[in-house]
């Protein structure tokens, strides 16, 4: 596996998004997920991404099991601020309200979260600690200041921010160097090319691309909403509902044409496209299946020419990246 850098630390160019192993995309299979985690390291995919909210702590517990034998070989990233354990938050006002999403980035909450995450992950430090969503009631300087103290305490090696706009990134970076921004980035989610990516490049901040396969859509593996399990969040996702699934198939067709010409998979074209966007872009495709893990990692060897890359430009995606409540919390 080719390597790329986050804050000077070399990691596999393609990482592993672990969310779906415990949350959002259908049933979990712990034994298979543990095999996926083990195999990922054999293939040089050593950047694992989780968050405290994935499965309300279950995803971190799962990784904790896997990490018992390989902690020193993994670049471990987790996140805090999206509240799942209501007893921990200091924002009592929101907890008691009907708000669909609660974000708490107060220093007091951060201090509780890191200790819980370290306990679940069964480790004494995480390599990259992200603010999952910006809490607009807390100045970013205050949040990052508290995160910086975790670095001083040795609980965290590097700091990251997820779903931030350029101004927030710049302000945060003045308080403490930001190693990475984690943003939705893929062939069908490119708006950060005009704001957050230029700022990240100016500051030398890595761009970790989440949902790089468009939550699976860009792989062409799904033909309609019926392909998703009952509890799958994509059944209610704007890009998959209200007729948008059909409209968005145009991009899948374009990707498929390139895949056929290369004798490869659409998923690999989607990842090769991201890898071609710059050495500072690190996709973290998510999977809980060995077959797809191996397929995704093999995208590292795929190269698209200029005409192929250009043929994937100019597509208008139908549907927002999140529902209205979720959109209120992105790129703050
Ligand atoms: N910072 C944030 O706010 C945020 C938000 C979302 C995600 N993330 C992170 O980003 C990671 C990746 O994003 P994601 O999981 O949302 O989306 P993704 O990586 O774009 O897509 C994952 C979906 O694609 C399927 N898949 C994976 N490889 C495939 C292949 N080769 N062929 C066909 N289907 C394939 C997976 O199926 P199976 O699950 O069945 O394997 C899963 O349903 C997450 O795990 C999480 O760590 C961060």
Query: pLDDT tens, 151-197?
Result: 999 999 999 999 999 999 999 999 999 999 999 999 999 999 999 99
Decide whether any atom of ligand 1 lies within 6 Å of the 180 Cβ.
no
Decide whether any atom of ligand 1 lies within 6 Å of the 18 Cβ.
yes
Closest-CA residue, ligand 1 atom 16, reads: 211
Decide whether any atom of ligand 1 lies within 6 Å of the 330 Cβ.
no
Structure tokens at 68: 């018992």
The residue from 25, 54, 129, 130 that is catalytic is 54
Which pLDDT score is estimated for 102? Answer: 87
Compute the distance from residue 283 Cα to the ligand 1 centre, in Å.
10
Compute the distance from residue 287 Cα to the ligand 1 centre, in Å.
6
Which pLDDT score is estimated for 85? Answer: 77
Contact assessment for residue 308 and residue 256, using Cβ atoms and an 8 Å cutoff: no
- Does the structure show a pLDDT above 80 at 91? no
Which pLDDT score is estimated for 99? Answer: 46
Assign residue 283 a region (left: φ > 0; alpha: ψ between -120 and 50; beta: otherwise): beta
Cα(275)–Cα(262) distance, integer angstroms: 16
- Does the structure show a pLDDT above 50 at 98? no
Pocket test for ligand 1, best of 36, 39, 210 (most atoms within 8 A of CB): 210
CATH superfamily to which 3-327 belongs: NADP-dependent oxidoreductase domain (3.20.20.100)
Give the mean pLDDT of the chain: 95
- Does the structure show a pLDDT above 60 at 94? no
Closest-CA residue, ligand 1 atom 48, reads: 210
Cα(101)–Cα(111) distance, integer angstroms: 20
The yes-or-no answer on residue 25 being catalytic is no
Which pLDDT score is estimated for 173? Answer: 98
Compute the distance from residue 142 Cα to the ligand 1 centre, in Å.
31
For the segment 1-56, what is each residue's pLDDT rounded down to a tens digit? 999 999 999 999 999 999 999 999 999 999 999 999 999 999 999 999 999 999 99
For the segment 205-248, what is each residue's pLDDT rounded down to a tens digit? 999 999 999 999 999 999 999 999 988 999 999 999 989 999 99
Cα-based distances in Å from 319 to 37, 309, 322: 32, 23, 8
Cα(315)–Cα(332) distance, integer angstroms: 25
Decide whether any atom of ligand 1 lies within 6 Å of the 288 Cβ.
yes
Nearest by Cα to 127 from 248, 6, 299: 6
């Amino acid at each position: 596996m080719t390597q790329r850098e986050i804050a000077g630390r070399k990691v596999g160019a393609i990482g592993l998004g672990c969310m779906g192993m415990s949350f959002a995309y259908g049933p979990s299979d712990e034994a298979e997920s543990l095999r996926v985690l083990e195999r990922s390291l054999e293939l040089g995919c050593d950047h694992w991404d989780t968050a405290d909210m994935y499965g309300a702590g279950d995803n971190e517990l799962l990784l904790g099991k896997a990490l018992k034998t390989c902690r020193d070989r993994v670049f471990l990233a987790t996140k805090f601020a999206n509240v799942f354990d209501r007893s921990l938050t200091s924002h009592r006002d929101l907890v008691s309200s009907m708000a669909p999403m609660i974000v708490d980035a107060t220093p007091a909450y951060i201090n509780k979260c890191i200790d819980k995450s370290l306990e679940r992950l069964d480790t004494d430090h995480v390599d990259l600690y992200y603010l999952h969503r910006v809490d607009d009631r807390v100045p970013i300087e205050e949040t990052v200041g508290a995160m910086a103290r975790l670095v001083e305490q040795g609980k965290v090696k590097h700091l990251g921010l997820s779903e931030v706009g350029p101004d927030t990134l710049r302000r945060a970076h003045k308080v403490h160097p930001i190693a990475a921004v984690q943003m939705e980035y893929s062939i069908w989610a490119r708006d950060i090319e005009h704001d957050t990516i230029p700022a990240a490049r100016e500051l030398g901040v890595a761009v970790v691309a989440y949902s790089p396969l468009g939550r699976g859509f860009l792989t062409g593996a799904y033909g309609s909403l019926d392909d998703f399990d009952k509890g799958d969040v994509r059944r209610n996702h704007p890009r998959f509902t209200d007729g948008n699934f059909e409209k968005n198939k145009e991009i899948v067709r374009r990707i498929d044409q390139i895949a056929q010409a290369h004798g490869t998979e659409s998923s690999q074209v989607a990842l090769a496209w991201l890898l071609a966007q710059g050495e500072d872009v690190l996709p973290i495709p998510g999977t809980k299946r060995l077959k797809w893990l191996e397929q995704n990692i093999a995208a590292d060897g795929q190269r698209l020419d200029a005409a192929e890359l250009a043929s994937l430009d100019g597509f208008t995606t139908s549907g927002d990246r999140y529902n209205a409540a979720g959109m209120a919390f992105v790129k703050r």
